[in-house]
Structure 1
């Protein structure tokens, strides 16, 4: 199992395109990267290609190249009305079945995103706020038993960056629960997503090192010494163009911005990173062994 994961995200469309996958695999082999986080279907049907056998063949080639493969499963976004009920045990079982199929097809790990209730501007739930965190914890316990322990393979969970600073009752996320029940906790402390003034920074997107180091250190400091902690910390990083200004506007994220986040992750004691770009387009210089030069 890869301990220090250095990954980029591959969306579903890119994963099904042979040319794009060849380019992404080549990017991994030319840089410090060693892993790919790849979307798979989460609502039944074939995992990636029309037949799981085709997915297994594709993954086999990537594994032979020494690439660690993480299946990204979207847990509760989607479904009727745009959001599955996080308390639905039928949905839990569907997710477990998809996860086990992904591991059988050749993935090394399963990563779970949208393991929460809807946030602002997302579908609302009738579940009382006080019941949401316990429900999400019960789902985590289910995944630990039915996927992680049953398959003896790593599982990881994505959480909001703000959850590093304290429990988020509305969405039901507590970093303490994730740290106890997953092998990796993967917060999303994207600099652009912090409000202006966060950590004393007028525009956090312009200070990628300071933003990530402050948020990761604060969050992990609360849970690192918990007796029941199982997980290592592995962070998502921003590889897309967005500013912290309100309203948000485009702000170019260069290889320097990405490298600064990687430096913060290393200094915060993380077990690696995964870079997020929704289009799965990445600049090679961001992942070169040598430091990128800060733009003038």
Structure 2
């Protein structure tokens, strides 16, 4: 396992395409990148390719190329009515089975996204707010015991960027809970998602370095010295444009914006990053090239 993970996200369609995976693998080998976060299914059936042997072969090829492979598992979004019930122990067991199977297929780590309650309009959000964070913590404890400890492999969790500034009981996410139960906590402090004035910045989207550095430093200062902390901080970064019906809220995220976020993550003392682009399309100039003598 690399000391510092430097990853890009690969969606399910891209992961099943030999041509696109070849391009992404080549990108990793030509740049500072060393890891891929790959979508797997979480609703039954094959986790990636229809035949497990094909998935094993693909993952083995990536690992032979020196690439660390992380399975991204969506926890509670996508149920029959929009969301699974975060308190459903049957869903917890299903996620544990998926995770252990991912390790068996050759993934090095399992990353959990949507480890939260849904928006207010979602039926599952009728759970009283006071019960949400304790429920999500119980789920984290379950994953620690049934996946992380059982498999003796790393597990990580994605959190809203705002959790860096304080607990978000409405969705059930508390940074303090996550750092005690995961090997890596991965907040999503995307600059374009902060409102005007956040973090002391008139327009955070225009200041990728300052936004990430302020948010990550604030979060880490709250939890770094907690007696029960086991996690390291690894941040998601914005590698996508923000589309909006309002012209003033449209942002083009260039390689410069990505590099500035990486610089902030390094200066904040994080254990790496993962770049998010929903189309899994990345510009090579966003990442430092591998020195010629090591390429």
**Gap regions ≥5 residues in structure 2:** 291-295
Alignment partner of 1:200 is 2:194: no
Alignment partner of 1:137 is 2:129: no
CA RMSD, 1 decimal: 1.6
CA contact (8 A) 1:205 1:243 kept: no
Q: TM (normalized to structure 2)?
A: 0.95
**How much has 1:258 moved relative to structure 2?**
0.3
**How much has 1:2 moved relative to structure 2?**
2.2
CA contact (8 A) 1:74 1:112 kept: yes
**Gap regions ≥5 residues in structure 1:** 291-296
**How much has 1:250 moved relative to structure 2?**
2.8
Residue by residue, what CA displacement relative to the aligned partner does 1:245-277 show, whole Å, maximum 9, x if unpaired? 978743111111000000000000000000000
Residue by residue, what CA displacement relative to the aligned partner does 1:70-107 show, whole Å, maximum 9, x if unpaired? 00000000112010000000000000000000001000
Alignment partner of 1:160 is 2:142: no
- Return structure 1 stretches of 4+ with deviation > 6 angstroms: 243-248
* Partner residue in 2 for 1:90: 90
* Partner residue in 2 for 1:252: 252
For residues 38 and 217 of structure 1, what CA distance do their matches in structure 2 show?
A: 28
Residue by residue, what CA displacement relative to the aligned partner does 1:6-44 show, whole Å, maximum 9, x if unpaired? 000000000001000000000000000000000000111
CA contact (8 A) 1:118 1:171 kept: yes
**How much has 1:126 moved relative to structure 2?**
2.2
Q: TM (normalized to structure 1)?
A: 0.95
For residues 4 and 243 of structure 1, what CA distance do their matches in structure 2 show?
A: 31
For residues 144 and 51 of structure 1, what CA distance do their matches in structure 2 show?
A: 29
Alignment partner of 1:271 is 2:271: yes
* Partner residue in 1 for 2:293: none
CA contact (8 A) 2:235 2:272 kept: yes
* Partner residue in 2 for 1:294: none
Alignment partner of 1:126 is 2:126: yes
For residues 127 and 117 of structure 1, what CA distance do their matches in structure 2 show?
A: 9
How many correspondences in the alignment?
A: 290
* Partner residue in 2 for 1:2: 2
**How much has 1:288 moved relative to structure 2?**
1.9
Q: Secondary structure at the match of 1:80?
A: coil
